[in-house]
């Protein structure tokens, strides 16, 4: 049974209504990817906002996933935090085919005829 990956969201204020949605989306994506990358140690999402006092806020988001072997880093920036979240999740899920060892087929020459 796989453990729950610790997920940290840094820089996003508690008043932002999308905070719970972002957390749940990333948590679901990490569970999905954990089937292929079981050695994930932690995930951190760093949000930097520009012009928070104005009518619109621009977000620069960096998602860092630490595994026992390496570190995966994804960055996005946009005006909509939920759109950024979806784009980062798509980038993370693209790692699945790269690390999937179960997809290898047996060679035709090695099969018993």
- Answer whether residue 50 is part of any domain: yes
- Answer whether residue 14 is part of any domain: yes
Q: What percent of the chain has pLDDT over 70?
A: 81
- Answer whether residue 110 is part of any domain: no
**CATH number for the domain harbouring residue 14:** 3.30.160.100
Query: Residue 37: which domain range?
Result: 7-103
φ, ψ for residue 64, nearest 5 deg: -120, 120
| Domains in the chain, number | 1
φ, ψ for residue 78, nearest 5 deg: -170, 180
- Answer whether residue 32 is part of any domain: yes
- The model carries a pTM of 0.73
Render pLDDT for 76-106 as a digit per residue (tens, 0 to 9). Answer: 999 888 899 999 989 888 876 665 555 556 6
Q: How far apart are CA 62 and CA 64, in angstroms?
A: 6
- Answer whether residue 58 is part of any domain: yes
Confidence of residue 60 (pLDDT cuts 50, 70, 90): very high
């Amino acid at each position: 049974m796989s453990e729950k990956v610790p997920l940290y969201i840094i820089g996003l204020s508690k008043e932002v209504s999308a905070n719970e949605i972002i957390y749940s989306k990333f948590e679901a994506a990490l569970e999905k990817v954990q089937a292929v990358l079981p050695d994930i140690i932690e995930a951190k999402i760093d949000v930097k906002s520009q012009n928070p006092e104005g009518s619109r806020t621009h977000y620069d988001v960096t998602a860092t996933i630490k595994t026992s072997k390496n570190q995966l880093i994804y960055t996005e920036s946009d005006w909509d935090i939920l759109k950024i979240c979806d784009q980062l999740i798509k980038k993370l899920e693209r790692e699945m085919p790269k690390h999937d060892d179960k997809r290898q087929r047996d060679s035709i020459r090695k099969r018993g005829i």
